[in-house]
């Protein structure tokens, strides 16, 4: 078995929770669910339909602004962006368009527009998505290929800290969340792909491609 984030083999069994096994990588510090416990694609899709991603919901847009605001500060006017993992309601993409940026969207379940993965972008926005990645190393490598030199990648997810109880963390209770990152994981990703960290806090990471 190898780490699904960094491909190292230096991993240990981290936790067993309600019969499910979670592994931890000593290299990048990510924690990930054993693949035999993944939902089927059909059940994963049904779960996503229960999310409240209403494009007109002001509270939802306020939540997304936590990523949009710091990401927008790094962008030039009229940038070309990709909202990756936009879900059924691509509100974040619409918010960037209202700021004058040109946006494409991609979501493997709701907007599987493969043609949008054949282009180059000034920036990628990825909100509450990387925790769902079944193959995060390949996904991040794809991000690197989609972004131009000096392009910006903005990610929002909740980072794990040992100060909290993993088994009682609400993020773990979502059955579609299969990989969990800490700030050390973000630092490792930046080193692995030669990205500069522009901003990093409790749930936002912004990178610049060197």
* pLDDT tens by residue, 48-67: 988 766 677 788 889 999 99
* pLDDT tens by residue, 169-187: 999 999 999 999 999 999 9
Question: For the chain, what is the radius of gyration of the CA atoms?
Answer: 17
Cα-flanking dihedrals φ and ψ of residue 192, to 5°? -65, -40
Residue 52: per-residue pLDDT = 66
Cα 22 from Cα 179, distance rounded (Å): 9
> Could you give the domains of the chain?
11-209 (3.40.50.150)
Residue 182: per-residue pLDDT = 96
Provide the 10 A C-beta neighbour count for residue 41: 11
* pLDDT over 90 (residue 119): yes
pTM of the model: 0.95
* pLDDT over 80 (residue 10): yes
* pLDDT over 90 (residue 126): yes
Cα 153 from Cα 170, distance rounded (Å): 26
Residue 196: per-residue pLDDT = 98
Q: What is the residue-averaged pLDDT of the chain?
A: 95
If you count DSSP H runs as helices and E runs as strands, how many of each does the chain have, helices first? 6, 10
* pLDDT over 90 (residue 1): no
- Strand-pairing partners, residue 207, are 153, 197
* pLDDT tens by residue, 67-118: 999 999 999 999 999 999 999 989 999 999 999 999 999 999 999 999 999 9
Query: Residue 134: is it exposed, middle or buried by C-beta count within 10 angstroms (0-12/13-18/19+)?
Result: middle
Q: Across residues 185-191, what is the average pLDDT?
A: 97
Cα 180 from Cα 160, distance rounded (Å): 7
Q: How do 121-127 and 179-180 pair as beta strands? A: unpaired
Is the backbone of residue 100 left (phi > 0), alpha (psi -120 to 50) or beta?
A: left
């Amino acid at each position: 078995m190898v780490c699904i984030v960094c491909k190292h083999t230096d991993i240990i069994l981290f936790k067993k929770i309600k019969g499910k096994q979670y592994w931890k990588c000593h290299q990048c510090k990510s924690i990930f669910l054993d693949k035999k416990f993944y939902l089927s694609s059909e059940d994963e899709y049904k779960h996503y339909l229960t999310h409240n991603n209403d494009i007109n919901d002001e509270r939802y847009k306020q939540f997304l602004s936590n990523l949009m605001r710091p990401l927008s500060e790094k962008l030039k006017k009229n940038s070309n962006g990709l909202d990756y993992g936009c879900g059924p309601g691509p509100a974040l993409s619409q918010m960037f368009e209202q700021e004058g940026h040109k946006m494409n969207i991609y979501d493997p379940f709701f907007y599987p527009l493969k043609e949008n993965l054949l282009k180059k972008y000034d920036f990628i926005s990825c909100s509450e998505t990387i925790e769902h990645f079944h193959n995060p190393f390949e996904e991040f490598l794809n991000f690197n290929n989609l972004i131009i030199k000096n392009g910006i990648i903005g990610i929002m997810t909740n980072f794990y800290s040992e100060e909290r109880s993993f088994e009682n963390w609400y993020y773990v209770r979502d059955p579609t969340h299969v990989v969990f990152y800490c700030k050390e994981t973000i630092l490792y990703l930046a080193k692995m792909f030669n990205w500069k960290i522009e901003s990093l806090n409790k749930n936002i990471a912004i990178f610049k491609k060197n």
